[in-house]
Amino acid sequence: MRRYGYALLAGGLFGAGLRLSGMTDTLKVQGFLDLFGAWDPTLAFVMGGAILPMAAAWRVASKLDRSYLDLALPGPATRGIDRNLVLGSVLFGMGWALAGLCPGPALASISFGGSGGLAFLLAMLVGMIVAPSLRRRLDAARPSPRSKMDIRALTPTYAVSPQIDPSDLPAIKAAGFTTVIDNRPDGEIPADLHTPVMQAAAEALGLTFIANPVIGGAMTMENIRMQAEVMANATGPVFAYCASGNRCSVVWAMMNAGEKPTDDLIATPAKFGYNLEPLRGQIDALAAQKR
Amino acid sequence: MMDWFWGLAGGLMIGSAGAVFLLYNGRVMGASGIIGGLVDGSGWGNWAERLTFLAGLIGVPYLLSLLIGGETHLTSNWFVIVLAGLLVGIGTRLANGCTSGHGVCGISRLSWRGIVATLVYVGAGALTMALLRQLFGVI
């Protein structure tokens, strides 16, 4: 329940800040963008004022494993700059200048923005509803540059790979794999590569799809147990992916600790550039536990 | 004349709101993502958190408007309003963020995506104003 209290608090503070700073007044926003007219610098003060506490919050968050309410924190900002980011920002900037409203102030001012404010909000929501299909069309028009698939077989029944996208799945099936494991938390990848999307695409091809998200540097025993269980139940070779394939390799080494010599568990991933040497002590310790 | 003071004060409140949402709820405070996930279905997994956030975002300015009023000075040109709304809706979801997500939350963690997005939308906005207001005088 406290989670909703804090969400209400954050939303309320956000709304109050928008109203008091003047950002619900479209003249102030347009005034900031009107470099060649009567330039109004207020928005720069708002941005600067907002970035200060937020920068402090990111520093605090970087030292936490979980939020104060024991909820997962956002993953690292690993996504690169892509065409959708630039194209979307161009469209957004044009609309922002035309009316002087962006999503936050459009919502915050809805109680006093009159019928014009309501019309803007409704048009914005329509835009948000059509955006995903527009994005799919844009992405389909050009092959996704995000796929970095490279099948790296650690054993005849287990291969790892950097991030894949749905268009890679037919090739994975054709290569004889029957199970795909996603070792990447959704928080670190774009929505169109999230578990539900990948799972639906994989299952449509008759592949078994398992999400076993491993947080970089914070692998759990549950991660290792689950990966082993999937391997044991698989009807054929297993294909695992994460950002680079490193985490999939580490889970593999951990689940085979004691079953195979530690030297082999380090040497095999090393052939593909994954350095597990720093984990030698942990692999040995796990092997000792199993004996 | 007091604009910069209220801008700074309001900005600090916006940043504090983002700090609360990050450190307690574990989430990046982006207005377009919070509402966008509700309308396109991608965020139904935590709809109640999104709705309570929106209740605060809409309710508190409403209460403030009872005390100090509120005036958006929005254009009365319906064509401009609808076109602007569509562009903002499509653009922010395509770019995965707006002024709060990319601007406030992205720049403050020195994310390249946030910095580039902000430069691009401010640039596109300034160009739009230069062309449509200063050159052609249509908005």
Q: How many domains does chain A have?
A: 2
**Residue A192 confidence (pLDDT):** 84
Q: How far is B1 from chain A (nearest CA, A)?
A: 10
Measure the CA–CA gap between A239 and A257, rounded to whole angstroms. 20
What residues of chain B lie within 8 A of the CB of A117, using their CB?
Answer: 72, 74
**Residue A140 confidence (pLDDT):** 74
Question: Do A178 and A130 share a structural domain?
Answer: no
Percent of the residues in chain A that have a pLDDT greater than 70, as a whole number = 98
From residue B95, alpha-carbon distances to A91, A162, A190, A229 in Å are: 9, 24, 11, 39
pLDDT in tens, A140-192: 776 555 678 889 999 999 999 999 988 899 999 989 999 999 999 998 888 88
pLDDT in tens, A223-234: 999 999 999 999
Name the packing angle between helices A26-33 and A83-99 (round to 10°). 120
B47 close to A (CB below 8 A): no
Q: What is the mean pLDDT of residues A129-138?
A: 92
Q: How far is B46 from chain A (nearest CA, A)?
A: 10
Measure the CA–CA gap between B12 and A284, rounded to whole angstroms. 51
What residues of chain A lie within 8 A of the CB of B20, using their CB?
Answer: 6, 9-10, 13
H or E element that contains A50: helix A42-62
**Residue A169 confidence (pLDDT):** 92
Q: Radius of gyration (Cα) for chain B, nearest Å?
A: 17
**Residue B1 confidence (pLDDT):** 58
Q: What is the mean pLDDT of residues B89-109?
A: 97
The model's confidence at residue B2, banded by pLDDT at 50, 70 and 90, is confident
Question: Do A188 and A129 share a structural domain?
Answer: no
Asked if the Cβ–Cβ distance from B75 to A116 is below 8 Å, we say yes
Would A215 be classed as within a structural domain?
yes
Chain A residue with CA closest to B18: the answer is: A54
pLDDT at A109 exceeding the cut of 70: yes
Percent of the residues in chain A that have a pLDDT greater than 90, as a whole number = 82
Question: Do A200 and A92 share a structural domain?
Answer: no
Beta bridge partners of A211: A182
The model's confidence at residue B137, banded by pLDDT at 50, 70 and 90, is confident
Angle at B85 between CA B79 and CA B86, to 5 degrees: 90
pLDDT in tens, A80-94: 888 999 999 999 999
In chain B, where are the structural domains located? Answer: 3-135
**Alpha-carbon torsion, ordered B53, B56, B62, B67, to 10 deg:** -150
- Supply A197's token pair: 């999307």
Query: Which B-chain residues 58-97 have CB contacts (< 8 A) with chain A?
Result: 58-62, 64-65, 69-76, 78, 80-96
Asked if the Cβ–Cβ distance from B31 to A45 is below 8 Å, we say no
Question: Do A281 and A193 share a structural domain?
Answer: yes
Question: Do A44 and A64 share a structural domain?
Answer: yes
**Residue A148 confidence (pLDDT):** 80
Beta bridge partners of A160: A152, A240
What type of residue sits at position B9? A
Measure the CA–CA gap between A68 and A151, rounded to whole angstroms. 40
Question: Do A228 and A180 share a structural domain?
Answer: yes
Question: Do A123 and A6 share a structural domain?
Answer: yes
Q: Which of A102, A119, A141 is the last residue of a domain?
A: A141
What type of residue sits at position B94? L
H or E element that contains A155: strand A152-155
Q: Look at the block and give the residue holding tokens 């499509």.
A: B90
pLDDT in tens, A54-75: 999 999 999 999 999 999 999 8
Asked if the Cβ–Cβ distance from B109 to A77 is below 8 Å, we say yes
Asked if the Cβ–Cβ distance from A98 to B139 is below 8 Å, we say yes
Chain A residue with CA closest to B132: the answer is: A98
**Residue A144 confidence (pLDDT):** 52
Domain of residue A58 covers 2-71+81-141
Measure the CA–CA gap between A277 and A274, rounded to whole angstroms. 9
Pairing of strands A158-161, A238-241: parallel
Q: What is the mean pLDDT of residues B20-37?
A: 97
Its pTM surpasses 0.80: no
* CATH code of the domain covering residue A210: 3.90.190.10
**Residue A79 confidence (pLDDT):** 78
What residues of chain B lie within 8 A of the CB of A86, using their CB?
Answer: 95, 116-117, 120
The model's confidence at residue A33, banded by pLDDT at 50, 70 and 90, is very high
- A187: which DSSP letter? G
Q: Which of A141, A163, A178 is the last residue of a domain?
A: A141
What residues of chain B lie within 8 A of the CB of A91, using their CB?
Answer: 87, 90-91, 94-95, 124
Query: Which B-chain residues 100-139 have CB contacts (< 8 A) with chain A?
Result: 100, 102-109, 111-114, 116-118, 120-130, 132-134, 139
Q: Are A150 and A161 in contact (CB under 8 A)?
A: yes
Asked if the Cβ–Cβ distance from A7 to B65 is below 8 Å, we say no
Q: What is the mean pLDDT of residues A114-134?
A: 97
Q: Which of A141, A172, A193 is the last residue of a domain?
A: A141
DSSP B103-117: IIIIHHTT-HHHHHH
**Residue A47 confidence (pLDDT):** 98
Would A76 be classed as within a structural domain?
no
Would A112 be classed as within a structural domain?
yes
Question: Do A177 and A96 share a structural domain?
Answer: no
Question: Do A122 and A223 share a structural domain?
Answer: no
Measure the CA–CA gap between B14 and A105, rounded to whole angstroms. 11
Of the partner residues B9, B55, B113, the one whose CB lies closest to the CB of residue A79: B113
Measure the CA–CA gap between A177 and A88, rounded to whole angstroms. 37
Of the partner residues A9, A30, A119, the one whose CB lies closest to the CB of residue B81: A119
What residues of chain B lie within 8 A of the CB of A88, using their CB?
Answer: 90-96, 117
Chain A residue with CA closest to B13: the answer is: A17
